[in-house]
Amino acid sequence: MSFSLAGLIGAAIGLYIGWIDYKIVIGVLKGAAERQNQRIGEPGFLDRYMDQIRYLVLGCGLIAFPLIGYLAGRALAG
């Protein structure tokens, strides 16, 4: 099985975009959890499941974005 260079470059760019997306989404979720704690005064849904949500976002972002980047790079450049 041969890999195209354009596809690998697209996958690397997708990996970088996935990492940035992970940082943004987790930052927004942490802010929402803190606001919820201040409003309610007790741990809410986000606090209880933040670790699982973090792994889900990380896994999806670091698999989906490079895959889409590889396919796009291979399709556009050959």
Confidence of residue 78 (pLDDT cuts 50, 70, 90): low
> What is the reported pLDDT for 1?
64
6 with 74: CB under 8 angstroms? yes
Domain ranges of the chain: 5-77
- Between CA 26 and CA 7 the distance in angstroms is 28
pLDDT of 48 higher than 90? no
Let me know: does 69 contact 18? Beta carbons within 8 Å: no
Distance CA 62, CA 19 (A): 7
Q: What is the DSSP letter of 41?
A: S
Predicted pLDDT of residue 44: 79
42: confidence class by pLDDT, cuts 50, 70, 90: confident
- Residue 25 banded pLDDT, cuts 50, 70, 90: very high
